[in-house]
Chains A and B, each alone.
Chain A
Amino acid sequence: METPEQIRDRLLARFPGAQVTVVANGSPSAQHSLLVDAAHGRAIAVFLRDDPALQLDQCSNVTGVDWPEKEVIETTKTTVPDPAGGTPKIIEEKSKRIEPGCLEVVYHLFSVALRHGPVVLRMRTGNRTEAVTLPSLMPVWRSCDFQEREVFDLFGVKFDGHPDLRRILMWDAFKDHPMRKDYVGPDDYEWEPTPHGDVLAKARKHFPAPAVPAAVPTPPTPTA
């Protein structure tokens, strides 16, 4: 099979204006992936499926990955020459930078006809809040039907062009997306006979300490 670099070069030649980059994989598995832009995502998917040398007719696995915003601390070193002619000073400056987060959808493509794969295709959303729409690849591979619904359900990626985009594992009235890294579970306290650790902390928050009852008058003692 062609290397991801060769596939990228052919894609760039076929789709001028498309952004295709190879994402290197540092693990020994060496399954490098192709990151494509959302605008050309579906055209590229059709090309990968129909190209006679690739024939990636099976989209085996579709999944989402959450990459939240993270703070990156960068250290820059500047050398300031000493005016007195001594050894130059090295000044370290630390700067903080917020790296924007995104939601990523990963497709593992195989060829049943030519028996090769995987070609790993990735698409990323603009951010994690508003720009979460990506093109659906269900019109290209039918196997994306339930799997994209699952990514929508658990990660909150909206798939443009999916004919039946509904929640699949959570119930319809559910609001959040549980596979996101910043998901906080609902505070429905589960009773334990001897709560400890996290459960105890949660129980205390859930059931605030009862107010001290006001002095209750004692009933008068019956006489005779």
Chain B
Amino acid sequence: MSTEITPPASPAAGAFPTGGLGDLSSGGAHVRAVHDEFHGDLLEVSMGPHHPSTHGVFRMIVTLDGERIVKLKPVFGYLHRNHEKLGEGTSYLGSMPYTDRLDYLCSMTNNWAYAVAVEKLAGLTVPERAEYVRVILAELTRLLNHTCLAGFLMQDCGCSGTPLMYAFREREKILDLFESLSGSRMMCNYQRFGGCRVDPPADWLARAQTLVDGYTAFLDEFEALLTGNEIVMARTQGVGCLSAALAVSAGVTGPALRATGVAHDLRKVDGYGVYPRFTFRVPLGAHGDVYDRYMIRVLEMRESVGILKQALAGLPGGPIMNPAAKLRGFRPKAGEAYGRIEGPKGEIGFYLISDGSPNPWRYRVRPPSFINLTILEDMCLGHTVADAVIILGSVDIVLGEVDR
């Protein structure tokens, strides 16, 4: 919602000494007088698009009264390549590698959300082993995304380097796992309609188990550095508060919504895949500020470790692909479907309309970080520029997905 700003009434003509800085006969008293009477003209600052704190090519037109933000308009689209038009011009399978490029930290969950939408459209079932493998990869992606985000957020707060490098050390291990399974570290292109592309071998599962077993120790170390840190608390608590009602109305999903205290996790609400078989809790915040959003992510990582342990222990044998699933020459009959899953950043959904041809008539991505940006202005109003940087960091955006 646009916020109308009435600039403060300009002082009457002649209120300021006209001598300027050249006349210093008064010993600078008139300069001080000007300063006292300075009513704060509004200043418009363009933050970005090329700045490390904007997490990509993203721009905020900020109107400042002193150092307080009174208006903030996000500007994006610099990475727009009309992903949805590309999806309409290629086959259903042809869009799968493109989904990797949306949110390039979470290609596994993007793949899964797209596969869910196509499976709904075509009525395909997924073998049990593939559902377990999908859960394992999605939870590894959640660990990867939340770890990185926590590191970036600390970077935004000003603790340069160390937390981010700790986070990237762990991310590297997960990327190594993805690489050995799918052949690519970030552009995995791993899920297929009706299953997964390759069956994880036993030694891969053993490596995943080792990583999962060691992750709690990393989280303990990470939290010992950050969670109780006085500076982190001073910078993040009470900053960027979001109310539950506004968050629901604005379609905010994921950790940002749960930080406001709304128990909405699609793993529980929709119970897709084999998630109902696992025991896990949904952490909720109370204040909806930046600190809560950070804490929700840390707590979610601990729950993800629990899910991963259960999934690795209960992984059944059997096929990884539904033999009825057709990848080449795939023509679902006319109709439409909206499929969604809980990605690390929120609800990632795909809406497909089929007209019976090999290409979808309409291919729509519901990008969580784009919609979570809707209330960026509401969260930033009244805060300083330095706070806007960490508020944006706590929303967790990836411009590949925002701009599409």
Contacts and interface: CB of A to CB of B under 8 A. Distances in A.
Contacts of B337: 25, 27, 29, 31
Contacts of A29: 120-121, 123, 335-339
Interface residues of A, number: 35
B121 A169 contact: no
A178 B85 contact: yes
A28 interface: yes
Interface stretch (B148-156, B187-195, B364-372): B364-372
Contact of B366 (A60, A170, A178): A60
Contacts of A145: 1, 250, 374
A142 interface: yes
A112 B349 CA distance: 16
Nearest to B269: A115
Interface stretch (B75-83, B286-294, B300-308): B75-83
Contacts of B366: 60-61, 108
Given A61-B351, A142-B374, A178-B85, A31 B338 contact: yes
A19 interface: no
B262 interface: yes
B234 to A, nearest CB: 31
B381 interface: no
Interface string B354-367: 10000001101010
Interface in B219-277: 246, 248-253, 262, 264, 269
Contact of A58 (B248, B364, B370): B248
Given A27-B334, A143-B251, A169 B404 contact: yes
Interface string B330-359: 001111111110000001010101100000
B371 A28 contact: no
A146 B122 contact: no
Contacts, number: 113
A179 B339 CA distance: 21
Contacts of B364: 61, 63
Contacts of B82: 154, 178-179
Interface in B292-342: 332-340
Contacts of A142: 1, 246, 249-251, 374-375
A63 B338 CA distance: 12
B77 A170 contact: yes
B2 interface: yes
A84 B353 CA distance: 53
Interface in B45-80: 76-77, 80
A163 B334 contact: no
A25 B77 contact: no
B403 interface: yes
Interface in A146-161: 146-147, 154
B248 A57 contact: yes
B122 A141 contact: no
Interface in A119-152: 120, 141-143, 145-147
Contact of A108 (B120, B333, B351, B375): B351
- Counting chain A CB atoms within 10 Å of each CB, the highest count among B336, B361, B375 belongs to B336
Interface string B80-108: 10101100000000000000000000000
A61 B332 contact: no
Given A60-B349, A141-B249, A170-B77, A27 B354 contact: yes
Contacts of B2: 163-164
Contacts of B264: 112
A191 interface: no
B392 interface: no
Contact of B351 (A106, A163, A167): A106
Contacts of B123: 27-29
B374 A146 contact: yes
B351 A27 contact: no
B113 interface: no
A59 interface: yes
A142 B85 CA distance: 26
A171 B262 CA distance: 36
B333 A27 contact: yes
Contacts of B269: 115
A26 B355 CA distance: 10
A4 interface: no
A65 interface: yes
Interface string A154-188: 10000000011001111100000011000000000
Contacts of A61: 338, 349, 351, 364, 366
A27 B349 contact: no
Nearest to B82: A178
Given A168-B77, A169-B77, 11 more contacts: A25-B335, A27-B122, A27-B337, A29-B123, A29-B336, A58-B249, A108-B349, A112-B248, A142-B375, A143-B251, A168-B76
Interface of A: 25-29, 31, 57-61, 63, 65, 106, 108, 112, 115, 118, 120, 141-143, 145-147, 154, 163-164, 167-171, 178-179
Interface of B: 1-2, 76-77, 80, 82, 84-85, 120-123, 246, 248-253, 262, 264, 269, 332-340, 347, 349, 351, 353-354, 361-362, 364, 366, 370-371, 373-375, 403-404
11 contacts: A26-B333, A27-B122, A27-B354, A28-B122, A29-B337, A60-B251, A108-B338, A108-B351, A167-B77, A169-B404, A179-B84
List the 3 closest A-B pairs by CB distance, nearest first. A27-B335, A143-B251, A28-B123
